[in-house]
Amino acid sequence: MPIMRAMVLDRPGTPLVMRERPLPVAGAGEVLIEVKACGVCRTDLHVVDGELTHPKLLVVPGHEIVGRVAAIGAGVGGFSIGERVGVPWLGATCGVCPYCRSDAENLCDAPVFTGYTRDGGYATHTVADARYCFALGEHGDDAEIAPWLCAGLIGWRSYRMAGEGKAGKDMTLGIYGFGAAAHILAQVASWQGRRVFAFTRKGDAAAQEFARSLGAVWAGASDELPPEPLDAAIIFAPVGALVPAALKAVKKGGRVVCGGIHMSDIPSFPYALLWEERHILSVANLTRTDAREFLEIAPKAGVSCAVTRYPLARANEALSDLRDGRLQGAAVLVP
Ligand SMILES: [Zn+2]
Ligand SMILES: [Zn+2]
């Protein structure tokens, strides 16, 4: 029997374990994918650490998958064997709930999430619903584009929400937490002529220098005020205290977008910080439209990801490095 290998989560709070399994079969509407690279997202940490409380168990994490189509199930059109494809967090939606029917499939009432409620890409192979896979073409290295599939897509959706209603070219944008998503988004926003202000942990000179090298016009600590008020701010770090900090930094009518799936509690703050029509928003998941837009713009903007590669068997080490802030850019597993 042909086999695959996967890093499996048996129980939140325990390390992933390498397991061999029978190679899965692509069912109707599915494709079997040979994984070439899978990015390590902060959401994977929230799954492994038990902060996201409803994983399928056992589960194979990973939702920034770049691979090649190895088998095609019945009824799948539009993909060919050997084609390079990407699989994001949004694994499937119901198609019939009020959200799916109103262009908000990211809020679907019965969604499937890759690497959370269905097996993901910390593996040599994975099966995905073909309708939620994206052709990636042949441009770019597998590992270097893997972070596009979540850090890129969620960053893009957050950015769109930050800019909605004031898409001016001279928009000033703050980014709190300069990890994988921020390092991609800073490149896109600067390429579009927006001025990016990067906020990092206090004293993290390396991250501030990294942000400047990717186009940020200013970089400082998250408890500092930027040199000018911001039109909008996006928070990627999972730290609730950054919400009042970002509200202080945005101008009247400004938006504070929380881009993560999990955040520590937001401390109470004076109403004056929210007053004058400042907004706080969260971003949940992605739509396929977000993905198509980002995958079109990223190559044009020349987005290049700084990645640290880990062999699949060292997934636990990659997660620890991300948890402890030892990474610049993104971690990527390579089977
Ligand atoms: Zn739905
Ligand atoms: Zn993610």
pLDDT digits (tens, 9 = 90+) for 37-84: 999 999 999 999 999 999 999 999 999 999 999 999 999 999 999 999
Alpha helices in 192-265 (DSSP H): 205-213, 242-249
pLDDT at 327: 87
Query: Can you give the pTM of this predicted structure?
Result: 0.94
Q: At what angle do helices 205-213 and 180-191 cross, to 10 degrees?
A: 30
10 and 144 in a single domain? The answer is yes
pLDDT exceeds 90 at position 313: yes
19 and 143 in a single domain? The answer is yes
Q: How many residues in total does the chain contain?
A: 335
- List residues, by chain if needed, whose CB lies under 5 Å from ion ligand 2: 41, 43, 150
273 and 302 in a single domain? The answer is no
193 and 234 in a single domain? The answer is yes
Give 158-206 pLDDT, tens digit per residue: 999 998 645 567 799 999 999 999 999 999 999 999 999 999 999 999 9
Instruction: Answer with the one of 241, 262, 282 that is the final residue of a domain.
Output: 282
Q: Which domain holds residue 322?
A: 3-149+286-334
Considering only CA atoms, give the Rg of the chain. 19
258 and 319 in a single domain? The answer is no
Residue 67's CB is within 10 A of a number of other CB atoms, namely: 29
The residues with which 18 forms a beta bridge, in sequence order, are: 7
Ligand 1: distance of its center to the CA of 151 in Å?
A: 23
Ligand 1: distance of its center to the CA of 34 in Å?
A: 28
Ligand 1: distance of its center to the CA of 116 in Å?
A: 17
92 and 76 in a single domain? The answer is yes
pLDDT at 164: 63
CA atoms within 13 A on the CB side of 151: 35
* Cα–Cα distance for residue pair 255/132, rounded to 1 Å: 30
69 and 125 in a single domain? The answer is yes
Q: Is 267 left (phi over 0), alpha (psi -120 to 50) or beta?
A: beta
Instruction: Give the rounded percent of residues in the chain with a pLDDT score beyond 70.
Output: 98
Ligand 1: distance of its center to the CA of 308 in Å?
A: 36
* Cα–Cα distance for residue pair 226/251, rounded to 1 Å: 11
Ligand 2: distance of its center to the CA of 148 in Å?
A: 10
Q: How many domains does the chain have?
A: 2
50 and 136 in a single domain? The answer is yes
Ligand 1: distance of its center to the CA of 112 in Å?
A: 10
Average the pLDDT over 257-273 and give the result.
96
Q: What rounded mean pLDDT belongs to the chain? A: 95
pLDDT at 166: 59
